[in-house]
């Protein structure tokens, strides 16, 4: 009888020891903070500010599943001003040039046959329209809220025909919804620039439509759109 009691007590003690050990492990695992990838932290900090090192960083950052290119054949259109290129009045691939600095977005060019026809720009993500207006150097510009890896960004669409942006501020656009059309080349619709789309991905929730920054450190607040939407 005594042996049976010792056996039962021993089994209970063993069960309690296993229970407390597992509970302790779970607490430790749940206390480990989530790591936010440096490239998309909303405070704008990154692991480096050198343009070359940014372009060589191939660690994948998964965009939201419904991310879409703003134009068809998107990758074929990036031929003049990619993200991060340093532009001066003398070395720019676009002449005449009106700006200097590091390019904060990616320019998607038109094909020759699109010069005199409407070119539809589509929303690259699902999110609210935050801003639309005329801005010097852009013509029509729109800004949309979006997310990458559950971190907020704002998406800048530049050189749109202002009255083609039918959505109202506060409206939700779904990925691939019609946003507007590209403005007419060298007109007020494009801010006097060629017909093309400037697409910028700015980290965080602040609305920032700067097309250029004056030093490499300023690029840390932006992402290369082609890492997410140039596959189409």
Q: Is the pLDDT score of 25 beyond 90?
A: no
| Residue 192, burial from CB neighbour count under 10 angstroms (0-12, 13-18, 19+) | middle
Q: Is the pLDDT score of 23 beyond 60?
A: no
Whether the model clears a pTM of 0.95, i.e. scores above it, the answer is no
Q: Under DSSP, is residue 200 helix (H, G, I), strand (E, B) or coil?
A: strand
pLDDT at 9: 44
Whole-angstrom Cα distance, residue 227 to residue 18?
Answer: 48
Residue pLDDT, tens place only, 126-138: 999 999 999 999 9
pLDDT at 150: 86
Q: Under DSSP, is residue 108 helix (H, G, I), strand (E, B) or coil?
A: strand
> Which 8-state DSSP code applies to residue 214?
S
Domain ranges of the chain: 38-229
* Contact indicator for 214, 103 with CB cutoff of 8 Å: no
Class of domain 38-229: mainly beta
* Cα torsion through 48, 54, 57, 61, rounded to 10: 90
* Contact indicator for 144, 154 with CB cutoff of 8 Å: yes
Cα–Cα separations (whole angstroms), residue 10 to 3, 15, 16, 21 = 10, 9, 10, 17
What number is the average pLDDT over the span 200-210? 97
pLDDT at 34: 26
Q: Is the pLDDT score of 116 beyond 60?
A: yes
């Amino acid at each position: 009888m005594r042996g049976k009691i010792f056996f039962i007590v021993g089994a209970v003690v063993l069960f309690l020891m296993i229970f407390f050990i597992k509970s302790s492990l779970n607490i430790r695992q749940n206390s480990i903070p989530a790591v936010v990838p440096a490239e998309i932290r909303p405070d704008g900090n990154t692991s480096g500010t050198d343009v070359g090192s940014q372009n060589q960083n191939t660690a994948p950052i998964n965009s939201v599943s419904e991310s879409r290119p703003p134009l068809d054949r998107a990758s074929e259109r990036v031929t003049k001003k990619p993200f991060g290129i340093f532009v001066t009045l003398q070395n720019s691939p676009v002449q005449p040039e009106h700006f200097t600095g590091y390019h904060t977005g990616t320019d998607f060019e038109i094909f020759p046959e699109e010069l005199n026809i409407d070119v539809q720009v589509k929303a690259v993500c699902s999110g609210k329209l935050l801003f639309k207006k005329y801005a010097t150097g852009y013509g029509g510009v729109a800004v949309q809220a979006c997310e990458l890896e559950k971190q907020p960004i704002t998406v800048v669409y530049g050189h749109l025909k202002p009255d083609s942006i039918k959505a109202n501020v506060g409206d939700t656009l779904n990925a691939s919804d019609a946003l507007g059309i590209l403005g007419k080349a060298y007109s007020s619709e494009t801010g006097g620039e060629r017909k093309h789309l400037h697409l910028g991905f700015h980290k965080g929730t602040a609305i920032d439509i700067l097309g250029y920054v004056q030093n490499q450190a300023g690029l840390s607040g932006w992402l290369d759109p082609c890492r997410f939407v140039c596959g189409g």
